[in-house]
Structures are given as structure tokens and as C-alpha cells.
Copies of this chain bind each other. A is one copy, B any other.
Amino acid sequence: MNNMPKNIPYILVSNDDGFFSNGIQALARLAAEFGRVIVVAPDTEQSAVGHAVTIYDPLRVNRIKVVDKIKGFSVTGTPADCVKLAHDQLLEEKPDLVLSGINHGSNAGINLLYSGTVSAATEGTVLGYPSIAVSCTDYDSNADLSACIVAARLMIDQVLKKGLPKGVTLNINAPSGPFKGLKWSKMADSRYVEEYEGRKDPLERPYYWLTGKFELLDTSPDADIQLLNQGYAAVTPIKYDLTDYDLLNAMKQNLEF
């Protein structure tokens, strides 16, 4: 690390599984191939928090050692909090790249909406930094992340060389173990059905657990989940401008106020 010249890339790494996870350690090691690395990650698992930010509680920060010689900070907040706080307070210079992951579990299709991993990367994009989210389809914390590493290495190299257009985040999903290569993809149309299981507690009071069966509704050959099912890694360019411009233009013509 100390041998690297000062103009080599400075890379912020975050995630939503917390800084103890194998996924962030693997991603931090990968990032270290490309430059100087700092990790800023939640101190506890923050899965499914989406783009939540902490507004009613103060954030606490601890200095941590993540893996090898890579250091960073743990934050008592969400993934989006981590990237905001890193940008505003913790980093000594502006990062050249923000990486989030490797998540244990896919962030393809509708899962993207709920993903803390993707939100950390999106927050990086909002703040003006090229940002990439990386997730493995296997939920096992000891899953084989080699496909994610290969896919992420290729995209990091491209993004550091060429940048990314304003407002765009790359969302990479890959299977565990061997894979057939990378494909550009779209977010697959998908949903959850039969979402909750009703139970009774020991005092006979009802409660509900989120469960749900995933349904893939999208048969497009470039839908991320279709590609993952075929053994490819899928790279989807996503944007945080949620405006539906096609409909906006249609509505302006059809419904004037």
C-alpha cells in the first residue's frame, strides 16, 4: 500500500452485511489490487433497509481493521448513512470509486428496491462518485465468491479507466462458483407472493413473519434473473432518477391542467 504513488485510485468500500462479513473482506481485497482502500460499513447487519438514512439518532463511529492491512470505520447506521458520513466526515480525500458488497444474496429483480447494498452504491452516485454494487446469488456466508470477484474486477477496471455517466450506478449480480461470463442486463420484472406467515406467541397474541415466494415475471433474454439462472453474471446500469419520462411526455399531452 505504502509503495503506491499518490495518484493511484482511492476506493471507498461499504456494504449492508456489516464489516465482519466475508463478502466485504473479499471486496476490500479486490479493491486493494486497484488502489488505496478505505472501508466504511455498518457495525451490524442491515439487510433490506433500502435507502434508509438515520435522521433521529446520532451516528457513532469506530476505527476498525477489516482484513489484511486494510483499515476503516464501522458506523452505527445504515449503508446509505455510511457512504454519506464517509463522504462528509471520514475520508481524507474524494474517492475515485465507491464499491458496495459483496452481498450474500442476490440483488436482482425486485430485490433491488429493498437492497441496502445497492443503496450504498446509489448514494455514492448521488454524491457524484462512480459506484458499483456487487452481490452473490448464494445466501451462504461462506459461498464461493469467485464469479463475483472476476466480474467485479472487470467492471472496476473499466470504470476506473472510463468512468460512468452522471447518475448511473452499476449493479452486478453473479452466481456462486463457476460462471459462463458477464452479460449486460435489465432489472427483471418480478415480485413476491404469499408474503407473510401468521403465528401466535405463547400468550396467544398474533404476529406475522415475512416469508414470501419469489416470482419471476420477466422472460426477456436480458433480464438479470434469467441470466443468473443460466449461469451468467449480470451487470445492470441503474439510475436514481425515478421519473418515468415516457409517461411524463404522454401525460403532458393527454391531461393538461
Interface residues of A (CB under 8 A from B): 45, 47-56, 58-61, 80-81, 84-85, 87-89, 110, 112-114, 119, 122, 126-127, 154, 158, 165, 167-168, 181-187, 189, 191-192, 194-196, 198-199, 205-210, 222, 236-245, 247-248, 251-252, 255, 257
Contact = CB atoms under 8 A, between A and B. Distances in A.
Q: Give the dominant DSSP class at A's interface.
A: mixed
B84 A196 contact: yes
A58 B240 contact: no
B50 A49 contact: yes
A207 B238 contact: no
Nearest to A251: B184
A55 B236 CA distance: 25
30 contacts: A47-B55, A47-B56, A48-B53, A48-B54, A50-B53, A52-B52, A58-B207, A59-B207, A60-B207, A80-B114, A84-B196, A88-B194, A88-B196, A113-B242, A127-B191, A168-B244, A168-B247, A184-B248, A184-B252, A184-B255, A184-B257, A185-B248, A186-B248, A236-B243, A236-B248, A237-B243, A237-B244, A237-B251, A239-B247, A242-B242
Contact of A110 (B48, B126, B207): B126
A235 B53 CA distance: 25
B243 A187 contact: yes
Contacts of A89: 196, 198, 208
B47 A50 contact: no
Contacts of A113: 51, 122, 126, 240, 242
A257 B56 CA distance: 46
A147 to B, nearest CB: 13
A191 B239 contact: no
A51 B53 contact: no
Contacts of A205: 60
Contacts of A238: 242-244
A53 B49 CA distance: 6
A198 B110 CA distance: 36
A160 to B, nearest CB: 14
Contact of A55 (B48, B189, B257): B48
A183 B189 CA distance: 30
A245 B186 contact: yes
Contacts of A167: 189, 244
Nearest to A239: B244
